[in-house]
Structure 1
């Protein structure tokens, strides 16, 4: 038996609905986001979980809570799973950033691995902190199922890191809609992507939401 890592993005927030930059900003889930979390718990509660690792943000904790309550498991909070720090772009729209931080925005779009949002984090920095959590999971749970509840950019960067994809291309190669789950199996030849961005645990009306 191998380790299976389930990477779940948090449910919908106001920012994931509007597309505003939200990293260290800490909004609650919307009512629909709460339903997304409950839907995940209802479908996945019968899997024998070894552990649940969670970013210490309100939106990720609220997403993990229905499952943890259902299975009677305490979530393990890890700072390494936090979302990208958008620095001075936090809470701003893309149009605002294009106008007020034009040079940094172009550099970030071109090569985000090494160019951060103004005052924020690069994807290399995110991969570095998140990889410590993944290494901890691999060491503690070499077999079985582990859930990681995190954020859009962080999950995409973790997947790129595990799969050998250029970190600078995380937005171009992988998507992670609100409350979607991706599954990576750690096998003899290394990490194998088995599921990417699945949302079929949710009712159709929730799946139809954009979930940016």
Structure 2
């Protein structure tokens, strides 16, 4: 039986992650730790026969994908469909600021994703729709192959919620999506998924522990 293996990875830690700023469609560079995180996963996957990489077109995701790929000649496809949820006027603001200035919407972001929408941004459902479309496309054109997807926290959460057939109100349930954490899903010939790994960080060195976040 021909199976398709999909790895889904969050980008490495960024400067705005450290500052607690919402990034969305805006961008910030990987930190030195974020670069190391990507290299750790690259080393862990070096023997895996990855056929292609699909990455969000945001710089932080592209850089992460390049570091994971390393010296291997793996084709890389950039797509806007895997970008983080557009957070509109929230982008560049910290969670602490938003909690005070927009407490209702901030609560909805975490606890009522089905109704949340930032001013000038996307809804969770809109983001899920484009991410689903991209994953379905990837599966359709890569049957029997092994594919690496590099994306963002919300997109990882939405795709895993969809794959596991959970309701949107469980979106922020554990596990936590650490930087460069790894999900592995195997799809059979009918594209029925089996989740093998969910937010795995076993490629982190033992010395990193949770300080790798």
State the TM-score, normalizing by the size of structure 1.
0.92
Give the 5 Å matches for 1:22-171: 22-171=23-172
The 3-state SS of whatever aligns with 2:42 is helix
CA 1:68 to 1:109, structure 2 compared with 1: closer, same or farther past 3 Å? closer
Q: Which residue does the alignment assign to 1:208? A: 210
The CA deviation at 1:30 is: 0.3
* Paired residues of 1:105 and 1:117 also in contact (CA < 8 A): no
Q: CA 1:201–1:173 in 2, change beyond 3 Å: closer, same or farther? A: closer
Q: Unpaired runs of 5+ in structure 2?
A: none
**C-alpha distance after superposition, 1:49-92 (max 9, x if no partner):** 12100001111111110233422112100111001111111121
Deviations 1:116-155 (A, max 9, x none): 1233222111110001110111111121211000011111
Q: Using the alignment, how far apart are the partners of 2:62 and 2:78 within structure 1?
A: 8
Distance in 1 of aligned mates of 2:109 and 2:202: 33
More helix, by proportion: 1
Distance (whole Å) between structure 2 residues aligned to residue 118 and residue 96 of structure 1? 15
Q: Secondary structure at the match of 1:160?
A: helix
The Cα of 1:102 is off from its aligned counterpart by 2.4
CA distance in 1, matches of 2:208, 2:13: 10
Contact 1:55 1:150 (8 Å CA) reproduced: yes
- Aligned partner of 2:198 in structure 1 is 196
Residues of 2 paired with 1:5 and 1:172: CA distance? 22
Alignment of 1:165-180 (within 5 A): 165-180=166-181
Displaced runs of 4 or more, over 6 A: none
**Partners in 2 of 1:168 and 1:143 — Cα distance?**
33
Q: Which moved more, 1:65-74 or 1:37-46?
A: 65-74
Q: Secondary structure at the match of 1:49?
A: coil
Cα distance in 1 for partners of 2:17, 2:194 equals: 28
RMSD: 1.8
Structure 2 residue 182 is matched with structure 1 residue 181: yes
Q: What SS does the corresponding residue of 2:169 show, helix, strand or coil?
A: helix
In 2, distance between residues paired with 1:150 and 1:205? 26
What is the aligned residue count? 211
